[in-house]
Amino acid sequence: MRILDRIERIYAIGGGPGANRVGGSQAEQDAHDLVAGWLNEAGLSVEVDPDGNLLGRLLGDDLDAAEVWVGSHLDSVPNGGRFDGVLGVLAGLEAVERVGRRRRTLAVVAFRDEERGFTGSRARVQHGSLPEFYIEAHIEQGPVLERTSMPLGVVTGIVGVARGEVVLQGAAGHAGTTPMDGRRDALCAAAELVLRVRDAAIAVPQAVATVGRLEVVPGAANVIPERAILSVDARAPDRERLDALVAAIGFDPSLIAEPARMDERVQAVLREELQRRGLPAPELVSGAGHDAGVLAAAGVPCGMLFVRSGAGGMSHSPEEWSDPDDVALCMDLLAAALERLAIAP
């Protein structure tokens, strides 16, 4: 399939192992330039907004009607996977080409720098026009669909995320001469915090929390740690549970992404198209953040379609994979959904 060849071409940008198109890098720009060329080839009108977001429009018959967008992002984490973000942009392009001209303008969008904080979509909702509907296809990045042998799933909501840094101050001392009962070891305090993060998440239904980075100062084998710096990433399906999780951990987040509900009308369209093909329509809550969540929080009616992740749900890794048949089905569903939304009153 053409989409798989294009995915591999983008995957090669930045060099391996894995995908290496960190937001703001030349590699991310090269991916945007490559996709802009494909948008042009498809006969779409190409725009790069002031924040670097890429849009390719197929103008509709009613230019006064609000637009319908489909897309995702082209940046990656270091050593990431080939499908994350890219699938949504390229499947969206394929779908728009299949649908052709309709009443509403259709646009394929690639947002900037999603992985490091939704830079492009956050900027767009602050000072740019927004669509009537937005659909984002994305690999599940988890094992649920694979475990239940279902190719696609309908996303009902996106978790809220609270993220921040915690600095624990102790006192340095000689590892051999400072008595144990007189120590203020910052790393011991950090160990207690890591366990508190784990236990807090276990106590809040459907919540997760992670300490993914830990720095010890001065970091010498024979010096008691004077300072420990930890990252905390806490996630929950709604604001009530997110607030409870943050309070139980006891940290002050520097970034909060609000939980987002996907639009019932768009969900219904996706479910109906799956059922029309004799397929189940499982509903999932996304534990990862997406640009769709940013747009939904700004009031845009959004929908997301999850594509089954292989390799046990592996993502953000070169092992990330989705079966070509699932990708083809995703494009079919997107095209059918876009066609219905593009003629909606």
Identify the bridge partners of residue 134 per DSSP, sorted by sequence position: 69, 302
Number of domains comprising the chain? 2
CA 212 to chain CA centroid, nearest Å: 17
Distance (Å, whole) CA 295 – CA 302 = 7
pLDDT value at residue 321:
95
Cis peptide before 324 (omega within 30 of 0): no
pLDDT value at residue 258:
87
Containing domain of residue 98, as a range? 2-159+259-342
> Across the chain, what does the average pLDDT equal?
96
Number of helices (H), then strands (E), in the chain: 10, 14
Residue 26: count of CB within 10 angstroms of its CB: 11
Model pLDDT for residues 226-248, shown as the tens digit of each residue? 999 999 999 999 999 999 999 99
CATH number of the domain encompassing residue 180: 3.30.70.360
Identify the bridge partners of residue 122 per DSSP, sorted by sequence position: none
CB 103 within 8 A of CB 340: no
Distance (Å, whole) CA 192 – CA 83 = 37
The vertex-78 CA angle with 76 and 81, nearest 5°, equals 55
> Of 194, 224, 256, which residue is a domain's last?
256
CATH number of the domain encompassing residue 319: 3.40.630.10
Distance (Å, whole) CA 19 – CA 12 = 7
Name the band, by pLDDT with cuts 50, 70 and 90, for residue 16.
confident
Kindly report the pTM of this predicted structure. 0.88
Identify the bridge partners of residue 307 per DSSP, sorted by sequence position: 139, 152
Give every CB contact of residue 285 below 8 A, 6+ residues apart in sequence.
155, 156, 157, 158, 159, 206, 237
Query: Looking at the structure, do residues 216 and 296 belong to the same domain, yes or no?
Result: no
Of the given ranges (108-112, 182-186, 268-272, 310-314), which has the lowest mean pLDDT? 310-314
Query: Looking at the structure, do residues 131 and 276 belong to the same domain, yes or no?
Result: yes
Query: Looking at the structure, do residues 231 and 102 belong to the same domain, yes or no?
Result: no
Measured in degrees and rounded to the nearest 5, phi and psi for residue 344 equal -65, 145
